[in-house]
Amino acid sequence: MKRLFAALPLLTGMYLFPPVQAQAQTVFHLTLKDHHFEPDHLSVPAGERFIIELENQDSTTDELESYDMKFEKIIVPGSKIRVHAGPLHPGQYTFFDDYHPDQAKGTVTAEAKP
């Protein structure tokens, strides 16, 4: 009987606070080839989380990094990684390959909805 009373707050909480549905995040695809991002520019909706999926077609280890969007992830040759980003305020943000910063660089523009 004590177990029933102990579980009662948990059971009533399920009805007072129903589970929140996760919002699907848009995936933006990038390729790293010859130490360049393809495409080198992405347009994303401001105020929403999104995912950048990067495929490394180079024969070297690279790194997807952004000071503006606060991520840094190493990617080995022939693999794919995913980075969760946002939500961003409207504006332009940069990303680059920290191992080849003069060659591999790109931008993300967060656009406000009309």
pLDDT confidence of residue 24: 82
Domains in the chain with CATH codes:
27-111 (2.60.40.420)
Partners of 53 in the β-ladder: 29, 82
Distance CA 57, CA 53 (A): 13
pLDDT confidence of residue 55: 98
Please enumerate in sequence order all residues whose Cβ is within 8 A of that of 16, keeping only pairs 6 or more positions apart, or say none: none
pTM: 0.78
Query: Are the beta carbons of 34 and 58 closer than 8 angstroms?
Result: yes
Query: Are the beta carbons of 44 and 26 closer than 8 angstroms?
Result: yes
pLDDT in tens, the chain (114 residues): 555 555 555 555 555 655 555 568 999 999 999 999 999 999 999 999 999 999 999 999 999 999 999 999 999 999 999 999 999 999 999 999 999 999 999 999 999 987
Distance CA 55, CA 75 (A): 8
pLDDT confidence of residue 31: 98
Partners of 96 in the β-ladder: 65, 105
pLDDT confidence of residue 67: 97
DSSP state for residue 107 in the 8-state scheme = E
pLDDT confidence of residue 114: 78
Collapsed DSSP state (helix, strand, coil) of residue 91: strand
pLDDT confidence of residue 34: 96
